[in-house]
Chains A and B, each alone.
Chain A
């Protein structure tokens, strides 16, 4: 069974709008939550990551919000641009797992001009 549940499957947003992707997990041993961005035919690239000791992390137009009690975390893409059109994956792992990640199913984001 999937240990990390991601929604929505796809998202269309206008240029300048906000894209929001949500993820939920069950395993309370997870302590590292990265988001990866993937363009068609390419490997995923790390976008931003958070640990459960903080509730929010911002890097440029990308923000992760983390709710430890609800076991949920989300990615917000502010001022979305056509170049942000990609598939986004949330993931989770444990500190002792050496990068062994459990991935969500992915969200395809399309930003219209």
Chain B
């Protein structure tokens, strides 16, 4: 069966520090991968998605970047964190095709001090 792993589960970082959140999927190949941010009391905002290795699309201009160095690995990064980067970050995957649901990881709670 397919599984998705995100780490770390929680992270506390000072303003201006770098960031690297990792997401890996097992049990499938060639998935579409997604990064979302969920601010407190709000819905999900799509940040990035990827349809293949090295292919990244950004949905909103921001302080973050994403990379997909391997088929089942998706990384969210920042060179210098801002206070506004605080939130709950969720990774998701889906199989290719037009009627596939997205499956989510357990998320990373990021707090910026």
Q: Does A pair with B?
A: no
